[in-house]
Chain A
Amino acid sequence: MSEAAAHAVPQSQADKLAVQMVGVHKWYGQFHVLKDINLAVEAGERIVICGPSGSGKSTLIRCINRLEEHQRGQIIVDGIELTNDVRKVDEIRREVGMVFQHFNLFPHLTVLENCTLAPIWVKKTPKAEAEEIGMKYLARVKIPEQANKYPGQLSGGQQQRVAIARSLCMNPNIMLFDEPTSALDPEMISEVLDVMVGLAESGMTMLCVTHEMGFARRVANRVIFMDGGEIIEQNNPEEFFNNPQSDRTKLFLSQILHN
């Protein structure tokens, strides 16, 4: 742990950052997935993470709300350091929303119930108020009329928008997206991206794993390229796409831009 201590962040600086990762390492068994990740995300920043399959993108953002545990280094979210302390983990999870590739809506609850469940049970919001908030965000993702349907009755794009609304109902400071559009049919991708662009314009801190380079160009402040568990390169989108530095980035970009 000595090197992590050397990297340790002064508390005053960490306060302004939404997410601060210092010397983070993670292993799955013997397999070293994340290698010395250092990343500082300022409040309001919009970051797109890309990289080849298996490079550790999902693992990286899942460490931020501790769906995965890191074994070395420091992760500070909203000024709270992630440790084994369950209360702190829950506190962070209440402030960090997450949207998954496969939506993960609760199939036994209606769309509105999906949106109000966590506010009611985790934040103890009164039911009527939670429903009001739920309807507000469903309107914002443009599907208020589906509120009383069940997730199984919606299209993929609609389900993903419900998932976004569900996260927003917790009023998070940070939103994590793990390939939110890659399970969708092409004609549904834009409806989800539109919602995400709207969210970005509202000033939300966002970390998105995505291969939608159009989206990255449009909203990202910074694009991060990962490979083999390391951050290989990061830059603003303009520079990243027009002037990639490393060979692996160039190869990756040529591959995804060709299809």
Chain B
Amino acid sequence: MTDTTETFAPGTHPDLPPPLGSRGIVKWMRENLFSSATNTVLTLLGAYLIYLAVPAFLDWFILDAVFDAGSRNECWERAGGACWSVVVVRFDQLMYGFYPEELRWRVDLAFLLLFVALAPVLFDKVPGRRYLAIFSIVYPVIAFFLLWGGMGLEPVESAKFGGFMLTVLIGVSGIIASLPLGIVLALGRRSELIVLRVVCICFIEFIRGVPLITLLFIASTLLNYFLPPGSNFDLLLRVLIMVTLFAAAYLAEVIRGGLQAIPKGQFEAAMSMGMSYWKMMGLIVLPQAMKISIPGIVNTFIGLYKDTTLVVIIGLLDPLGLSQSILADSKWQGLSTEIYIFIAIFFFLSCFSMSRYSIYLENKLHRGHKR
């Protein structure tokens, strides 16, 4: 290194640009890719692997893929890549299951309105947030009638629900219903009222101690013994309840962790100003505890969302359940890779957006008060 060693009188030294090689992309590469002999070898090896894998994958995924064939064999005759035709042909089924075709607009509408209803809850800068929030509150009722029918709409049995519609329905309802229940359980578990506390502990420990599949079986079979004979309690509603209870038990523990992190002084300050228990919790403690719990809460939500695939076990046709019947079709046999990749992409997009939202929320709440 040959540095220019100009000298300046004290106090007159100008700002000089940093020497070459200590800024920009060259610096970044030197620090991150070629910082040592091992690092250099690993970098080259990695580059070679990417060179081998990426073009081959792109060929299969897009360039040699077939989108408009009528059967698996036709696909394979035309090219050696992925046979996305199966997804194209069965797309509607993967989306709606066996929901009557002429009524699918109701599902689409419910899905669109879901975003309208969620906007004021998720973002605080939505125009007209106050009025939209009223819509958010009535949305579940609207969605119920749109999906199940009634009130002049042709009824649709929930046995016909399927595909991603079912995933979103169970996932979103579970998430929305389990959060308040989880909060109540977490508060109950810390309550000074011993009966309430014991009930909450038993509930949480029982639900957490049992696999979700067991609960789903209870929902599908055992409940029939308890319900009065002849009562026809929608299987999907039972599943929704079980999924909600299951997620709520986990959420309760996550939120309890957040509650425990709130210093005693916060409670005392709130009490010393004459706040009632609910005001103290609602205005002081929960806002802070929930903020701490965001990563754990979103973690639980993502888990719940993916667990919806378990309903296939009790005969509900979520995308994975449908894929079984699609693969059993002799025209499309053996195309499991394509279908599973498609389903995986869908789940990844849903879960990844939840994760990004949680990061957005953490940053937003963090900006408010450094510390």
Contacts and interface: CB of A to CB of B under 8 A. Distances in A.
A101 to B, nearest CB: 9
Interface stretch (B19-27, B60-68, B144-152, B275-283): B275-283
B269 A104 contact: yes
Contact of A97 (B265, B272, B276, B283): B272
Given A102-B265, A150-B368, A153-B369, A121 B283 contact: yes
A152 interface: yes
B275 A152 contact: no
A130 interface: no
B288 A98 contact: no
Interface residues of B, number: 22
B180 to A, nearest CB: 20
Given A107-B288, A117-B283, A150 B273 contact: no
A98 B272 contact: yes
B287 interface: yes
Nearest to A67: B268
A93 B272 contact: yes
B371 A90 contact: no
B275 A100 contact: no
B271 interface: yes
Interface in A86-121: 90-91, 93-94, 96-98, 100, 102-108, 117-118, 121
B266 interface: yes
B284 interface: yes
Interface string B253-279: 000000000010110110111111001
Nearest to A152: B371
A100 B266 CA distance: 10
A5 B311 CA distance: 67
A108 B265 contact: no
Interface string B272-308: 1111100100011001100100000000000000000
A8 interface: no
A22 interface: no
B194 to A, nearest CB: 17
Contact of A121 (B268, B272, B279): B279
Contact of B266 (A106, A118, A150): A106
Contact of B369 (A102, A107, A117, A121): A107
A100 B273 CA distance: 12
A108 B274 CA distance: 19
Contacts of B276: 90
Contacts of A65: 272
Contacts of A105: 269
A170 B274 CA distance: 10
A122 B279 contact: yes
A226 to B, nearest CB: 21
A237 interface: no
Contact of B274 (A103, A107, A118, A150): A118
B102 to A, nearest CB: 51
A157 interface: no
B272 A96 contact: yes
A108 B269 contact: no
B370 interface: yes
B287 A108 contact: yes
A153 B370 contact: yes
Interface string A54-92: 000000000001010000000000000000000000110
A123 to B, nearest CB: 8
A96 B268 CA distance: 13
A211 B279 CA distance: 34
A107 B274 CA distance: 19
A229 interface: no
A90 B288 CA distance: 23
Contacts of A153: 369-370
Given A97-B272, A107-B369, A150-B371, 10 more contacts: A93-B271, A93-B274, A100-B269, A102-B263, A106-B288, A108-B287, A117-B284, A118-B273, A150-B369, A150-B370
Interface of A: 65, 67, 90-91, 93-94, 96-98, 100, 102-108, 117-118, 121-122, 150-153, 166-167, 170
Closest 6 CB pairs of A and B: A152-B371, A150-B369, A104-B265, A104-B269, A93-B274, A118-B273
